[in-house]
């Protein structure tokens, strides 16, 4: 009789414990992270192609394309793409990542100026270099791009100006490893 009583008592206690459970309240939203932000590895600038359409007196224009399947028409229209370059022998310091567009002077001298910029197309990122007066961009520079889709928190916040942020600040904002 005692064992039946104990069994019934244990079932009653277990029933009370589990019947009183309810789902807790939803907690506050966490900080924005890199869940939807896409970033590439650093890659060496490829073989530069001389442009036949962007010509002008006193300059040569070169470009190379990076295949970028994640750069869709929606990204071009509604997202943000940031392209960074590390220049060899940069007078500002080795390994500094600079947001394009950027002007680079050949080993710090004013004799040759390289004006780097980029263009976006669905499926590719084009790196462009205008060289004044003459020269060919190095194939030892490194380039990387970040894609911030539309709708990602912090992406297009009013007043957010990525040109005033360092590469390190952008990486911290989106939890991107340096």
User: Would you say residue 26 lies in a domain?
Assistant: no
Helix intervals (H) in 62-129: 73-78
Mean pLDDT value across residues 49-77:
91
- What total number of domains does the chain contain? 1
Going from the C-alpha of 172 to that of each of 87, 109, 146, the distances in angstroms are 22, 33, 13
The pLDDT value given to residue 153: 60
For residues 81-106, average pLDDT: 87
Assigned domain for 32 exists: no
Q: Is residue 143 part of a domain?
A: yes
Does the residue 94 lie in any domain? yes
Percent of the chain at pLDDT > 90 equals 47
What's the pLDDT band for 159 if we cut at 50, 70, 90? low
Provide, for the chain, the percentages of residues in helix, strand and coil under a 3-state DSSP scheme, each rounded to the nearest 5. 20, 30, 45
Q: What is the pLDDT of residue 96?
A: 86
Domain enclosing residue 68, as ranges: 38-173
Q: Mean pLDDT across the chain, nearest whole number? A: 80
* CA 156 – CA 138 distance, rounded (Å): 33
165 found inside a domain = yes
What confidence score (pLDDT) does residue 24 get? 54
What confidence category does residue 116 fall into, taking pLDDT thresholds of 50, 70 and 90?
A: very high
User: Which residues is 144 bridged to in the sheet?
Assistant: 84
Structural domain includes residue 142: yes
Question: Which of 157, 104, 100, 162 has the alpha carbon at shortest distance from 126?
Answer: 100
Q: Which residue has the tokens 């310091």?
A: 93
Confirm whether 156 is domain-assigned. Answer: yes
Distance CA(165)–CA(49), nearest Å, equals 31
DSSP summary character for residue 106: G
Kind and range of the H or E element at 169? helix 167-173
User: Which SS3 state, helix, strand or coil, does residue 76 take?
Assistant: helix
Regarding pTM above 0.85, the answer is no
- Does residue 96 belong to any structural domain of this protein? yes
């Amino acid at each position: 009789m005692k064992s039946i009583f104990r069994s019934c008592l244990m079932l009653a206690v277990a029933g009370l414990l589990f019947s009183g459970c309810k789902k807790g309240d939803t907690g506050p939203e966490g900080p924005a992270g890199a869940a939807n932000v896409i970033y590439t590895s650093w890659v060496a600038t490829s073989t530069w192609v001389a442009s036949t359409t962007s010509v002008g007196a006193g300059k040569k224009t070169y470009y190379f394309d990076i295949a970028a399947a994640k750069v869709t028409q929606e990204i071009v229209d509604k997202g943000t793409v940031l392209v960074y370059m590390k220049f060899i022998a940069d007078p500002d310091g080795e390994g500094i990542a600079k947001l394009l567009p950027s002007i680079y002077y050949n080993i710090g001298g004013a004799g040759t100026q390289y004006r780097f910029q980029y263009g976006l197309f669905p499926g590719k990122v084009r790196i462009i270099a205008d060289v004044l007066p003459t020269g060919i961009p190095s194939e030892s520079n490194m380039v990387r791009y970040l894609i911030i889709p539309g709708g990602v928190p912090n992406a297009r916040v009013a007043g957010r100006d990525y040109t005033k942020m360092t590469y390190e600040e952008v990486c911290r904002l989106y939890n991107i490893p340096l």
